[in-house]
Amino acid sequence: MNLFSNKDSFYHFLSVVFLLLVTTSLYSQDEEIISVDSNLVILNATITDKNGKPAAKLNQSQFEIYEDGKKQEIAFFETQKTPYAAVILIDTSGSMEQRVSLARSAAIKFLEGIRVEDNVAIYNFDSEVKLVQDFSNMRDLLPQVFNLRAKGWTVLNDAIYKAAKELGKRVEKRKAIIVLSDGADTRSGHSSSKALNAASAANATIYTVDMSSINIGGKARMQNRGILKKYAQRTGGKFISTPGGREMRDAFENIVNELGIQYTLGYYPSNIKRDGKWRKIELKLNSDGLNVRTREGYKAPKNKR
């Protein structure tokens, strides 16, 4: 059987094959470029004044980046408002009891402040991590979010790890994880260090809200709050000590504002060793009266044996 009725159809077939080969080649080149650019370390920095308000109109010459004490050359600097992607994690474990509704109210408060260009997803976690609302710019919660009930164990580390992995797939430069939890991890398969490394790899800032009950004993509550504070501090985020009231409303409003106007900087590390070791980052600003928040460092890639 003759596949081609005439010469024209045969030449058309050859042109299509050639186009496919060229397209495949271009995609391969893009993949190589992405691999090279993965060496770029990105910092999303929040700069605030003494009143806690975001500071605007700073320029690149006012910033200095140090890695393990050595000054780095800034290769990328961006100040304009830009879209962000965020994941809200709602703790629905048994220890949350009646505070699930309070966590839901906090999520609603956060969504009220997002812009049309921002994208937010919502997960709940107890004995496992489950998606309840996929990335969108919706300001309303889907019905299934209102059906969440407290039960099971707490996989806080697994939830943060999952959120970081999902954010790592997003194209937005600015990414955040908002954790609404009492901080008592009881059943995670991942350690807090692995969750933090995943957040660092995704360049995600973690904001944590302490949802613990005042009835919890002093020592236990301090330990749980310490876990939440660590996640926020290590990634340049913020720890919110109360789950309700005006303080939380103001805090969420500030989070939404600062995510939109953060300073984004990037550099290629002078230390090119792929040893898998932790690299400490310091971002300094030559202006008085301003506070700098950004991630504390990152784990260098490691060559596979």
- The string of pLDDT tens digits covering residues 14-69 is 443 333 333 333 333 332 222 234 689 999 999 988 888 888 889 999 999 999 99
In this structure, is residue 143 part of a structural domain?
yes
Pull the structure tokens for residue 181.
């939890």
How many Å apart are CA 285 and CA 268, to the nearest integer?
A: 19
In this structure, is residue 277 part of a structural domain?
yes
Judge if 138 and 256 occupy the same domain.
Answer: yes
Q: Are strands 291-293 and 41-48 parallel, antiparallel or unpaired?
A: antiparallel
pLDDT at 25: 34
Q: pLDDT band for position 287 (50/70/90)?
A: confident
How many Å apart are CA 290 and CA 47, to the nearest integer?
A: 7
**Residue 158 near residue 196 (C-beta atoms within 8 A):** no
Judge if 157 and 217 occupy the same domain.
Answer: yes
pLDDT, one tens digit per residue, over 225-242 is: 999 999 999 999 999 887
Pull the structure tokens for residue 162.
């999952």
Judge if 46 and 90 occupy the same domain.
Answer: no
Return the percent helix, strand and coil in the chain, to nearest 5. 35, 25, 35
pLDDT, one tens digit per residue, over 163-221 is: 999 999 999 988 999 999 988 899 999 999 999 999 999 999 999 999 886 666 678 78
- What is the average per-residue pLDDT within 137-161? 94
Q: 131 or 303, which is more confident?
A: 131
Q: What is the CATH number of the domain that holds 269?
A: 2.60.40
pLDDT at 23: 33
Q: Measured at the alpha carbon of residue 155, what is the angle toward residues 124 and 138, in degrees to the nearest 5?
A: 20
Nearest Cα to 129, choosing from 187, 82, 83, 197? 187
Alpha helices by DSSP H, listed for the chain, are 7-37, 100-111, 156-167, 192-201, 218-235, 245-260
- What is the average per-residue pLDDT within 106-110? 87
Judge if 30 and 163 occupy the same domain.
Answer: no
Nearest Cα to 267, choosing from 60, 77, 58? 77
pLDDT at 39: 85
**Amino acid (one-letter) located at 168:** G
Judge if 254 and 123 occupy the same domain.
Answer: yes
Number of domains forming the structure of the chain: 3
| Cα radius of gyration (the chain) | 23
How many Å apart are CA 152 and CA 187, to the nearest integer?
A: 10
pLDDT at 81: 78
Determine the distance from the C-alpha atom of residue 296 to the mean position of all C-alpha atoms in its chain, rounded to a whole number: 14
Tell whether the model's pLDDT for residue 4 goes beyond 50: no
- On the CB side of 132, CA atoms within 13 Å amount to 25
**Amino acid (one-letter) located at 268:** Y
- What is the average per-residue pLDDT within 273-302? 91
Q: What is the domain range of residue 4?
A: 1-37
**Residue 229 near residue 259 (C-beta atoms within 8 A):** no
Judge if 242 and 172 occupy the same domain.
Answer: yes
How many Å apart are CA 90 and CA 118, to the nearest integer?
A: 19
Dihedral (CA of 59, 64, 67, 72) sign: positive
Average confidence score pLDDT of the chain: 84
- What is the average per-residue pLDDT within 122-130? 97
In this structure, is residue 231 part of a structural domain?
yes
pLDDT at 244: 67
* 0.95 exceeded by pTM: no
pLDDT at 52: 80
Report CA dihedral (170, 173, 250, 179) to the nearest 10 degrees.
Answer: 40
Judge if 68 and 136 occupy the same domain.
Answer: no
**Residue 112 near residue 188 (C-beta atoms within 8 A):** no
In three-state secondary structure terms, 78 is strand
How many Å apart are CA 297 and CA 65, to the nearest integer?
A: 11
94-103, 139-148, 202-211, 277-286: segment of lowest average pLDDT: 94-103
Judge if 103 and 199 occupy the same domain.
Answer: yes
